[in-house]
Structure 1
Amino acid sequence: MLNIADTLYDWCREARPFALATVVQVSGSAPLPPGTALAVDADGNVAGSVSGGCVEGAVYELCRQVLADSGAPARSRFGYSDDDAFAVGLTCGGEIDVLVQRVDPVDQPHLTLALDEVRRGGPAAVAQVVDGPEELLGRSLCVLGDGSAYDGTLGGARENRAVAAQARALLRAGRIGLVEVGGDADTCPERLTVLVHTRAPRPRMLIFGAVDFAAALSQAGAFLGYRVTVCDARPVFATAARFPYADEVVVDWPHRYLAGTEVDARTAVCVLTHDARFDVPLLRLALSLPVGYVGAMGSRRTHDHRLGLLREAGVPETHLARLHSPIGLDLGARTPEETAVSITAEIIAHAHHGTGLPLSHGSGPIHEPLAARGWELPPVY
Structure 2
Amino acid sequence: MDAGSKGSAIRAGYVLAGDELFLQERCRAAIIKAFVPPDFKEFCLSDFDLSTTPIFDILDRAQTPSLMAPFQVIFVRNVRNLYTRGAKKDEFAALARYFQSPNPQALIVFVADFIRIPSDARRIEMDDKNKYERLTETLGEHCGMVELARVSEDDAMRWVSATAGEGGNRIDPDAARELVDALGADMMMIAAELEKLLLFTWGREKITLGDVETMVLGAKQRSLYELTDAISARNKVKAIALLHGLLNSSEAGEDAAIGHLYMLARTFRQMLVILEKNVRDQRAIWQALWQGFRMPPFAADDLIRQARRYKSRRELTRALRLIARADLELRSSPPDKRLVLERLVLDLASEPKPLSPWSASQLSLSEQ
User: TM-score, length-normalised on structure 1?
Assistant: 0.26
The structure with the greater share of residues assigned to strand is 1
Greater relative CO (CA pairs within 8 A, separation 6+): 2
Greater Rg by CA? 1
